[in-house]
């Protein structure tokens, strides 16, 4: 089971829309408590809608919420692009988590690979992809914020203070993070009050 942080885009989606509140008993709620017996696969996160629809798996929940609240773009091509970026961001996290979990030898090997080139190669690809839309001065998909932007906002925020990472090489990604965090009140509010966690 991955740590709480891997679900970050989910509350970002929720806090962008005033009708969705996480952690209460509204129509939609994310459950992070250890209620394994009631979850589809015995793990969290789990999304419950109207008490009778339950959904597991972080990316599946992110896609469901994004589509429900209009953050998957305007057509099937936008949606496919959003899905591509979500999958790539998940691969980025998977690579990083190998530096944290496992035996010491495997963690050290993963860290050497991660800090050697892997991390920057991922970010270079994201930077290049962002630049294909309005020269990287807007969003990943179309003219409005999507779940793809929220996912990358989370990733860049996680590693914002990593001393070995030169963010000056990725100006489009840092610009995107600023747009997502500062230009959207609900997201800014969530980032300001979210719990302090390991990563």
**Is residue 65 a contact partner of residue 12, using CB atoms and an 8 Å limit?**
no
Please count the other Cβ atoms lying within 10 Å of the Cβ belonging to residue 132. 10
pLDDT confidence of residue 98: 94
Say how far apart CA 152 and CA 185 lie, in whole Å. 18
Which domains does the chain show, CATH number per domain? 4-68 (3.40.30.10), 76-184 (1.20.1050.10)
Distances (CA, A) of 17 to 3, 71, 75, 88, 197: 24, 10, 20, 25, 24
Q: Six-digit token pair at 73?
A: 């773009």
Q: Shortest CA distance to 193 belongs to which of 6, 22, 19?
A: 22
Provide the terminal-to-terminal Cα distance of the chain, rounded to the nearest Å.
15
pLDDT confidence of residue 197: 60
Strand-pairing partners, residue 28, are: 49
pLDDT confidence of residue 181: 81
**Is residue 140 a contact partner of residue 85, using CB atoms and an 8 Å limit?**
yes
pLDDT in tens, the chain (199 residues): 333 344 445 555 554 444 444 444 443 444 444 455 566 666 667 788 887 888 888 888 889 989 999 999 999 999 999 999 999 999 999 999 999 999 999 999 999 999 999 999 999 999 999 999 999 999 999 999 999 999 998 888 888 777 788 999 999 999 999 888 877 777 777 777 766 665 4
Contacts of 72 (CB under 8 A, 6+ apart): 63, 66, 78, 79, 82, 146, 147
pLDDT confidence of residue 175: 94
pLDDT confidence of residue 36: 54
Residue 88 carries which DSSP code? H
| pTM given for the model | 0.76
Please count the other Cβ atoms lying within 10 Å of the Cβ belonging to residue 35. 12
Say how far apart CA 32 and CA 54 lie, in whole Å. 13
Say how far apart CA 79 and CA 18 lie, in whole Å. 23
- Per-residue DSSP letters for 106-139? HHHHHHHHIIIIIHHHHHHHHHHHHHTTGGGTS-
H or E, element range at 167: none
């Amino acid at each position: 089971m991955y740590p709480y942080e891997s679900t970050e885009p989910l509350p970002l989606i929720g806090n962008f829309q005033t009708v969705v509140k996480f952690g209460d008993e509204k129509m939609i709620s994310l459950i992070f408590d250890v209620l394994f017996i009631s979850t589809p696969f015995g793990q969290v996160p789990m999304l419950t809608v109207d008490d009778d629809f339950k959904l597991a798996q972080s990316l599946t929940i992110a896609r469901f919420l994004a589509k429900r609240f209009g953050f998957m773009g305007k057509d099937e091509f936008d949606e496919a692009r959003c899905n591509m970026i979500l999958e790539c961001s998940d691969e980025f996290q998977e690579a990083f988590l190998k530096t944290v979990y496992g035996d010491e030898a495997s963690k050290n090997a993963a860290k050497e690979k991660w800090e050697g080139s892997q991390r920057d190669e991922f970010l270079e690809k994201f930077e290049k992809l962002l630049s294909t839309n309005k020269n990287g001065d807007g969003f990943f998909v179309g003219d409005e914020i999507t779940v793809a932007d929220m996912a990358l906002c989370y990733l860049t925020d996680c590693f914002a203070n990593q001393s070995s990472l030169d963010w000056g090489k990725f100006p489009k990604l840092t610009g995107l993070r600023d747009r997502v965090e500062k230009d959207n009140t609900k997201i800014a509010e969530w980032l300001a009050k979210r719990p302090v966690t390991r990563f």
